[in-house]
């Protein structure tokens, strides 16, 4: 079977060792004689998985006991509302850099005053706003670290005394960051961490319990924290595969992963810039190292280029339906050889 080069934006490519471990757990989980799809989430075998999955996140980011880790259901989209339920008391500040940040602020507006303090909507989200004022009386600042659809990314995070919340769904653990700059980080697993179904939430505990509203139990972080992510049945299999991915990240080392991700991105962007058939869609200083978006200067060649990619076993290169063009998602588990294969197609097509 020929290797398929998986550039899908999500559900996305996973490390082979995480997939292999998942397959084994489907057949016989932790020598129980049962599939992980069958065991109780209260069993000592799965509780050990959950505890390790939470602890490994803290290890990778060197987080103190001031922080706690949750695995929830509902994806990042549920977190758009959950964040506001738990943190929005008077007013919140949002930076609008794309589709997902727009959806996040839309949900927050249901619960209180939300101010868009900066936006790149004026140029179709092709850059990251900089130098904006952050109101000191904000309950929190919300940003989206990487914009999967439009292909922009924060390469430096704001400095602020305001609690900072970040949706890191598509670039989590792709680079070395100081996670303590943030008071809450959330990420749908399916873009760079694991299969769809699990959502990672990392919270600095001191920011909770300050709103006056009553919070529905399923949206209350304190409820989930009190039950160690077991308030309801967790997504057991996705959490297990996330753990295997976290182990792989730990073995590789985040600095090594970042170096490889930069190498992949630089190779592709160099071809986009040097090949007269193509053009990038994002200001160079704000280009995403995870999701490279680009267009053909002659759109009539689109079908031909897609066919050329298909012949080279390149999958998932089509841009999001809302923006068109092409998108190469170069998540952690994607090999440099896959990017070389795409660049070769672009050169041959030229």
Identify the pLDDT of residue 341: 98
Total domains in the chain come to 2
Q: Does residue 1 lie within any of the structural domains?
A: no
Identify the pLDDT of residue 3: 84
Show which of 251, 281, 307 is a domain's final residue: 251
Enclosing domain of residue 155: 16-251
Beta carbons within 8 Å of 111's beta carbon, 6+ residues apart:
81, 84, 85, 88, 213
How far the first Cα of the chain sits from its last, in Å, is 28
pLDDT in tens, 243-252: 999 999 999 9
Q: Does residue 320 lie within any of the structural domains?
A: yes
Q: Does residue 119 lie within any of the structural domains?
A: yes
Same domain, 289 and 225: no
Q: Does residue 269 lie within any of the structural domains?
A: yes
d(CA 128, CA 155): 9
Answer yes or no: are the C-beta atoms of 56 and 248 closer than 8 Å. no
Q: Does the predicted model carry a pTM greater than 0.95?
A: yes
Return the closest-CA partner of residue 111 out of 223, 231, 219, 229: 219
Same domain, 37 and 53: yes
Identify the pLDDT of residue 2: 72
- Whether residue 140 is predicted with pLDDT greater than 70 in this model: the reply is yes
Instruction: Please identify which residue in the block is written with the tokens 């400095």.
Output: 159
Q: What CATH number has the domain bearing residue 173?
A: 3.40.640.10
Identify the pLDDT of residue 90: 95
d(CA 135, CA 151): 27
**Coil, helix or strand for 148?**
coil
Known catalytic residues? 100, 167, 191
Same domain, 291 and 178: no
Show which of 251, 278, 294 is a domain's final residue: 251
């Amino acid at each position: 079977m020929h290797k398929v080069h998986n550039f899908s934006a999500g559900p996305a490519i996973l490390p082979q060792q995480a997939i292999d471990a998942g397959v084994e757990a489907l057949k016989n989980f932790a020598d129980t004689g049962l599939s992980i799809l069958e065991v109780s989430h209260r069993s000592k075998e799965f509780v050990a998985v959950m505890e390790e999955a939470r602890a490994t996140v803290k290890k990778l980011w060197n987080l103190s006991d001031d922080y706690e880790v949750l695995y929830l259901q509902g994806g990042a989209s549920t977190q758009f509302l959950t964040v506001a339920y738990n943190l929005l008391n008077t007013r919140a500040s949002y930076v609008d850099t794309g589709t997902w940040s727009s959806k996040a602020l839309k949900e927050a507006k249901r619960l209180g005053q939300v101010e868009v303090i900066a936006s790149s909507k004026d140029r179709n989200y092709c850059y990251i706003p900089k130098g904006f004022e952050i109101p000191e009386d904000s309950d929190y600042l919300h940003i989206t670290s990487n914009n999967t659809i439009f292909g922009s990314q924060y390469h430096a995070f704001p400095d602020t005394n305001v609690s900072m919340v970040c949706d890191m769904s598509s670039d989590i653990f792709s680079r070395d960051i100081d996670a303590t700059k943030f008071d809450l980080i959330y990420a749908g697993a399916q873009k760079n961490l694991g299969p769809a179904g699990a959502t990672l939430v990392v919270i600095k505990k001191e920011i909770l319990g300050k709103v006056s509203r009553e919070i529905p139990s399923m949206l209350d972080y304190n409820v989930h924290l009190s039950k160690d992510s077991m308030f309801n049945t967790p997504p057991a299999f996705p959490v297990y595969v996330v753990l295997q991915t976290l182990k792989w990240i730990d073995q590789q080392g985040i600095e090594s992963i970042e170096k490889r991700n930069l190498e992949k991105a630089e190779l592709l962007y160099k071809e986009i810039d040097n090949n007269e058939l193509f053009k990038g869609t994002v200001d160079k200083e704000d280009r995403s190292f995870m999701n490279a978006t680009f267009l053909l200067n002659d759109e009539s060649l689109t079908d031909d280029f897609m066919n050329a990619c298909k012949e080279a076993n390149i999958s998932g290169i089509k841009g999001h339906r809302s923006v068109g063009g092409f998108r190469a998602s170069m998540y952690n588990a994607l090999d440099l050889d896959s990017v070389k294969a795409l660049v070769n197609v672009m050169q041959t097509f030229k």
